[in-house]
Amino acid sequence: MMNNHTLVKEFILMGFPLGPDMRMFLLGLSSLLYAFTLMGNGVILGLISLEARLHTPMYFFLSHLALVDISYACNTVPQMLVNLLDPVKPISYAGCITQTLLFLTFALTECLLLVVMSYDRYVAICHPLRYPVIMSWRVCITLSLSSWVLGFLLALAHLILLLPLTLCSPQKINHFFCEILAILKLACADTHINEILVLAGAASVLVGPLSSIVISYMRILWAVLHIQSREGRQKAFSTCSSHLCVVGLFYGTAIIMYIGPEHGNPKGQKKYLLLFHSLFNPMLNPLIYSLRNNEVKGALKRMLGNRRPS
């Protein structure tokens, strides 16, 4: 046992148990989806910054969501691609801990941003006359910064509990990135308390905000049904349905991964689910907002029209 208590300097990410051909296929597919993620969210950021009609609180929060999605993908996907090319290439201890901190920060920040976005839609639809006062730019900046800061502090709290643990050899993480529960499996000591704290934190961060989103949308639905104008109802449903799709994708996969029962959900399946969460969610978010939002589609058409040679 004393030989196993060595100073950890690096880890080997086990990734996925695939043959060379499947590994190359996953490498090509992941690279393509990664490029689409960067391009799609980059287009959303560009449209919102350049189009004056999109300088509203809703699109201000959407720009932060796009920034989180880009950061989220950049934190996990490049290391996974390196691992697919060279399965035995190690990642340093500092790099692994940094990746864990950033993953938790971006995930928690996105969770909180989705709550802020639902509150914005609630105020816009249920209190339209007071909307400019309630959702002033000062309030919007405070809410967005609070989401980032609180996400980082919650992630840092989990990391502080992880760092004192002694890790045993061999330093092989059964995942495609440095996921916190996978790192805890390497600890020499009992990590039952740490795992309970991670799951309790996930439950509080996921269930609490999701409940507030559901309550907000119940009140929004009630308000929309009382809108007399058919065009007004369609516009409200259009903007809200985009946000609900993103909420469903994010919270659905996150709840299954961290709160769902272990039986019937083997670790391998959850690893693939987290791959979907890391690759597809950031890529689908800009598609959902662009395809289901007339203002974003209009801004994109105007930008493309201005670039055409006369």
CA angle 275, 278, 283 (to 5 degrees): 120
Closest CA to 217 of 244, 253, 235: 244
Two structure tokens written together for 295: 């203002």
* Entry pTM: 0.86
Specify the CATH architecture of the domain 10-303. Answer: Up-down Bundle (1.20)
Alpha helices in 127-191 (DSSP H): 131-134, 137-162, 180-184
Q: Are 216 and 122 spatial neighbours (Cβ–Cβ below 8 Å)?
A: yes
Q: What is the pLDDT of residues 214-247, one digit of tens each?
A: 888 888 888 877 777 777 677 777 777 777 888 8
Mean pLDDT of the chain: 82
Q: What is the pLDDT of residues 131-156, one digit of tens each?
A: 999 999 999 999 999 999 999 999 99
Closest CA to 98 of 38, 35, 163: 163
Q: What is the pLDDT of residues 157-207, one digit of tens each?
A: 888 888 887 777 678 888 888 888 888 888 887 777 777 877 787 777 788
**Residue ranges per structural domain of the chain:** 10-303
- Give residue 116's pLDDT: 93
Task: Specify the range with the lowest mean pLDDT, choosing from 61-65, 143-147, 277-281.
Answer: 277-281
Q: What backbone phi and psi angles, to 5 degrees, belong to 243?
A: -65, -40
- Give residue 310's pLDDT: 46
Q: What is the mean pLDDT of residues 98-116?
A: 92
